[in-house]
Amino acid sequence: MARRYFGTDGVRGRVGDPPLTVDFALRLASAAARVLAPEGGTVFIGKDTRLSGYLFESALEAGFVAAGVDVQLLGPLPTPGIAYLTTRVPDSFGVVISASHNRYEDNGIKFFDSSGGKLSDELEERIEEEVDQPVITRQSNFLGRARRADALREDYQRFCAASVPGGLDLRGMKVVIDCANGAGYKVGPRLLASLGAEVIPIGCSPNGRNINDGCGSTSPGFLQLTVPGVGAAVGIALDGDGDRLVMVDHLGRVVDGDQLLYLIACDRQDSGTLGGPVIGTLMSNYGLEMALKARGIGFHRAQVGDRYVLGLLKETGGVIGGETSGHILCLDRTTTGDALIAALQVLAIMVRTGRTLAELTAGMSRLPQVLINVRVAQRFDAAAVPEVAAVVAAVEQELAGQGRVVLRASGTEPLIRVMVEALDDDQAQQCAQRIAQAVKSATPPAAG
């Protein structure tokens, strides 16, 4: 079935343009109630700090209450926090209002089931089938109740702290955390402070419009300046909804998701707790694959998207997986990608070994990788266009097995992503530009 609304990470788009309207959010809540809670239940609704989060929160609350579902309103809380809370209450599910790393003009709505995992394709399709039905309004004695549940933020904070066996003492460590003016701006600094760290928060002053704006995991430049500037041991950068992580070492150098994945996997191997292969994606740097192979650690690639990484982890019996962008899944600690939990794993390794982040990641060398995002009027299969395919084939022949080409449509934005890896940065840049130009030339006009 071709899905109309759900992409790789829920429903996402520009606020005010279909489907990101109040009317749709109300109908989506009613449809989700029919599918996920036909006999009633509890839904946890969390959000990031976008101004539009208030209107979608109100619309979803109304739809669920009218359908007989009790609502717990969590306010700003990282996406994995909502996933965790759904596991604590029987017959519950979670809803997150966020467009993750996108700018404030966008927003999105995604769901978690009672096990703390994202909905299956089948459940999302069933919800889509119900979206065009009239909104349910039950009689007064069957309506749900809505409550503010901000205090549950502390439950999530304690859960994160407990993700390090034996506890974690960060006394004497100076840490800079950039919360992207997003969902983690309260819980992130408080969590680190509760563990004894000297915390310097940046990107923790949301105004509804500055989420992901020159800050966070997608724009860590200021963090790179701040960490060595204040003499911090490490920097932590979240994205707008708190499920992506990149870090900065004491020298001000970015440590991306591939390097963090390598570090955590090697530590689990050393402790004898690494089960199954490590799972990356088509976009994971080839240097990660080579470094893991040198350690005797298996490595598989999933489609881009943390839901696909999760699926392959479960299929292969793995516990550690993630994406270059910073989605890190530690299934031996939680059910979904969690930036704060991943960061604590890294901090625990630093404390236990007495080594800097720079030293710990020295065993992995990244191949030069160039990523070009080609904005298009509408998504299309660029690889199926003969002119584009011919350029890709020529580039692959030029790389001669010493690099990679990945060409894919974004699942959340109208972009075609062109990625080239090569032994030489100039070669990677030139090859990527050639493919990107072919994609631009092949882009179909906007529908309508």
Task: Supply angle C-alpha 328, 115, 298, rounded to 5.
Answer: 35
Q: Give the pair of three-digit tokens for residue 140.
A: 């007064």
Residues linked to residue 405 through DSSP beta bridges, in sequence order: 420
Q: Which of 30, 92, 98, 100 is catalytic?
A: 100
| Alpha-carbon gap, residue 439 to 343, rounded angstroms | 37
Q: Which residue has the tokens 């050639």?
A: 434
Residue 41, amino acid: G
Backbone angles phi, psi at 391, to 5 degrees: -65, -40
Residue 280, CA distances (Å) to 9, 311, 363 in order: 17, 12, 18
Whether 422 and 402 have beta carbons less than 8 Å apart is answered as yes
SS3 letters for 257-306? HHHHHHHHHHHHHHHCCCCCCEEEECCCCHHHHHHHHHCCCCEEEECCCH
100 in catalytic set: yes
In sequence order, the 6+-apart residues with CB closer than 8 A to the CB of 368 are 421, 422, 423, 424, 425, 427, 428
Q: Within a 10 A sphere around the Cβ of 23, how many other Cβ atoms?
A: 11
Strand arrangement of the beta sheet that strand 299-302 belongs to = 299-302, 278-281, 320-322, 328-330
| Alpha-carbon gap, residue 200 to 232, rounded angstroms | 9
Whether 233 and 350 have beta carbons less than 8 Å apart is answered as yes
Cα torsion through 251, 252, 254, 255, rounded to 10: 40
| Alpha-carbon gap, residue 177 to 21, rounded angstroms | 33
Q: Which residues are catalytic?
A: 100
